[in-house]
A and B are shown apart, each in its own frame.
Chain A
């Protein structure tokens, strides 16, 4: 992706792109929301995960002061444009995971200014949800510069540069929309800007607080201008209240596993699903928001064997693993032959913390690399065992 020198807007596409980006905000908030956001201090942007390429739909004036990118340079582009050659992959993976799982996240990142100069920022990422039905509307990303370790001590509050009043019409110039395929890829890419990394910086408490308070101000501004039929936006998803969020390191390990599986929490009433893999959501058609908090029986339907379900229950009660054939149902009502493996998963204390349910659609084509399907399933089980064994019970949820 080009890092600077945004191509001139194509007149034909101009109106279309402009309209689409602007309506991402104006469809959900009053027309005054842009003015209100322009008034706010700080370097921040909003992205819309529902649009192709997960583009930036709003960029603050403070962002231009911090990064050298004027709002018109970044609107319509993916937020990974700030990353470069020496940006830490692990930190970026953490951000990607937070985007994928719709969670708030803070990470120190080595970003690049428009002129190619690297600089350390604390990225504060927060999802913005529709308060009533819990749908994801936007991601909010606040960038706070991180002062060098030596300068941090005793430094006065390092406020971002003076606010530049961004012209809205200017800001709506469209540029090439990147065509990243899905929201999970946002904020990450490698530009081969061959600059060496300097010493990694760690954000101070002051910088962390600043990022959080900037984000809170923005969310309350969005609340004030919300026109979602009287509903407010909120940084907490309502439907998952009561379901503990897994720690980010555990989420990261689980996110690598390709098989279709869910984890249920055996210590909560009715064993709700507390994690669902990407492969599971594509197999069943349920989104993560819909399935978290539910019991695995949502997959049952006419013809699902009660004897087999009873057998699963007995194995769960006796902390044993079992593999069964079962008729399961997708969200759209279609059924499939499910090869299901259920196994207890123990944490570092040696006690059962979760149950893993690995689902395999026997009607679909799979490459088991010469293993039997029921053995291939266990690869996911082993990987989850290792990930959860590394978690102290107290640190499992964040």
Chain B
């Protein structure tokens, strides 16, 4: 009754107290979305503030902290100092001498992993959760012996850029990529919506996150607001004077990196427009990053040109205004000017950006017409 028990065990959910332990061979927790769970409609005004954390939020945090507790992380990212960089834009700097951007390129592991037979899954501690569509009204967590056929796997990043850093990896890779891109954007946005936590952001980088034609999203909890989220915006499309559009397209004003912002409480409309544009950018071989924030109601698109000096693009969180510094010197001397210059060096030319803006408005307008025809 009063003895200490070390919490041990290879796998958290095989613990003696778990509900899952009866069935031998259970290897994965599968989170199933509620069927069309308040997706297409405006979220009830009251729900976001009054309710506590959502089920998905709690499970992600539980599983991630458990992964950290067992010592699988390379470092404790919460021990890395954060600061808001002076100058008015509130760029955020993190001092982290262990973070290595190349660690993000371990995608081979995921691919081999997702192809593996189910009995090998036990050997992979980083697998936190499977996520798939569900048929019940409410979201639920069920034990599963195999990865979801049409969903994704949540895999912890042992080199986190922030607390709760995860990869969202498609669980089946032998599907047509153009179809899967839309599915992945849809799932990523829906996860953002169901986590329903303002700190949770989902992001995607076209240069580093496409493996064999498949999109891999990432996500983590940023405790501090990202500067791009509070940047001024100018609306460029809201339905062209027709009946109220489900989607609003804006561009950032006075932000050093040109960006487009898609806002909608209609998840399907938002996903349709963003995936159309992603396909176009992909076909044009244009590098871009996506940042999904505000509980899945806002998507930032950062088109980028390759920096001629460094040959690098910025990652989605850098586009959002969050930078990691490897040295104390770099951290102490971080300045808004230096960051603005880095952003400016990958920002599109005015004319190219105008073209992209028109393309986005046209796609949004097509979708708007289509939806009105459907409802008419």
Q: Which residues of A contact B (CB under 8 A)?
A: 89-90, 92-93, 190, 256-258, 303-305, 307-308, 311, 321, 323-327, 337, 345-346, 348-350, 368-379, 381-383, 385-392
Contacts and interface: CB of A to CB of B under 8 A. Distances in A.
A345 to B, nearest CB: 8
What are the 10 closest A-B residue pairs judged by CB atoms, nearest first? A382-B61, A390-B223, A372-B15, A305-B2, A379-B58, A378-B65, A379-B62, A389-B223, A258-B52, A348-B82
Contact of B1 (A337, A368, A383, A387): A337
A371 B62 contact: yes
B221 interface: yes
A89 B45 contact: yes
Given A311-B4, A370-B18, A389-B82, A190 B45 contact: yes
B43 to A, nearest CB: 11
Interface stretch (B73-81, B208-216, B290-298, B360-368): B73-81
A158 to B, nearest CB: 31
Interface string B142-157: 1100000000000000
B176 interface: no
A370 B164 contact: no
B59 to A, nearest CB: 7
27 contacts: A89-B45, A92-B49, A257-B52, A258-B53, A303-B2, A304-B2, A305-B3, A305-B4, A346-B76, A348-B224, A368-B18, A369-B59, A370-B29, A372-B15, A372-B18, A373-B17, A375-B62, A375-B63, A377-B62, A378-B66, A381-B65, A382-B61, A382-B65, A382-B163, A386-B199, A387-B223, A389-B163
Contacts of A324: 4-5
Contact of B53 (A256, A371, A389): A256
A293 B199 CA distance: 30
Given A190-B45, A258-B53, A369-B55, A385 B2 contact: no
A350 B5 contact: no
Nearest to B19: A370
Interface in B79-125: 79-84, 95
B163 A378 contact: no
Nearest to A374: B7
Contacts of B20: 370
Nearest to B3: A325
Interface in B221-271: 221, 223-224
Interface residues of B, number: 55
Contacts of B48: 89
B141 interface: yes
Given A257-B53, A321-B69, A89 B46 contact: yes
Contact of B2 (A327, A378, A388): A327
Interface of B: 1-7, 12-13, 15, 17-20, 29, 45-46, 48-53, 55, 57-66, 69, 76, 78-84, 95, 140-143, 163-164, 197, 199, 221, 223-224
Given A325-B2, A374-B15, A382-B163, A390 B224 contact: yes
B66 to A, nearest CB: 5
B143 A382 contact: no
A183 to B, nearest CB: 15
B12 A371 contact: yes
Contacts of A304: 2
Given A93-B50, A325-B3, A375-B12, 17 more contacts: A89-B45, A307-B4, A325-B4, A346-B76, A349-B82, A350-B80, A370-B19, A370-B29, A374-B7, A378-B69, A379-B53, A382-B64, A382-B163, A386-B164, A386-B223, A389-B223, A391-B223
Given A89-B45, A326-B2, A385 B62 contact: no
B288 to A, nearest CB: 28
B78 A256 contact: no
A264 B200 CA distance: 26
Nearest to A93: B49
Contact of B164 (A325, A368, A382, A387): A382
B202 to A, nearest CB: 15
A326 B2 CA distance: 5
B1 A327 contact: yes
A258 B62 CA distance: 13
A321 B48 CA distance: 31
B324 to A, nearest CB: 13
Nearest to B60: A382
A386 B57 CA distance: 12
Contacts of A257: 52-53
A390 B52 CA distance: 19
A385 B160 CA distance: 14
Contacts of A321: 69
Contact of B49 (A90, A258, A374): A90
B74 to A, nearest CB: 16
Nearest to B79: A350
A305 to B, nearest CB: 4
A373 B12 CA distance: 10
Nearest to B55: A369
Given A190-B45, A372-B12, A379-B61, A348 B53 contact: no
Contacts of A375: 12-13, 15, 62-63, 66
A325 B1 contact: yes
A370 B13 CA distance: 8
B65 A89 contact: no
A213 to B, nearest CB: 31
A226 to B, nearest CB: 36
A381 B53 CA distance: 12
Contacts of A325: 1-5
A139 B141 CA distance: 43
Nearest to A368: B19
B141 A370 contact: yes
Contact of A89 (B2, B49, B53, B58): B49
Contacts of A392: 83-84
A225 to B, nearest CB: 37
A265 to B, nearest CB: 17
Contacts of B19: 368, 370
A385 B163 contact: yes
A389 B78 contact: yes
Contacts of A372: 12-13, 15, 17-18
Nearest to A252: B49
A362 to B, nearest CB: 9
A258 to B, nearest CB: 4
A258 B1 CA distance: 26
A200 to B, nearest CB: 15
A299 to B, nearest CB: 13
B346 to A, nearest CB: 28
A40 to B, nearest CB: 34
Given A325-B2, A326-B2, A382 B62 contact: yes
B209 to A, nearest CB: 23
Given A256-B52, A370-B29, A378 B141 contact: no
A85 B241 CA distance: 26
A55 B349 CA distance: 61
Contacts of A307: 4
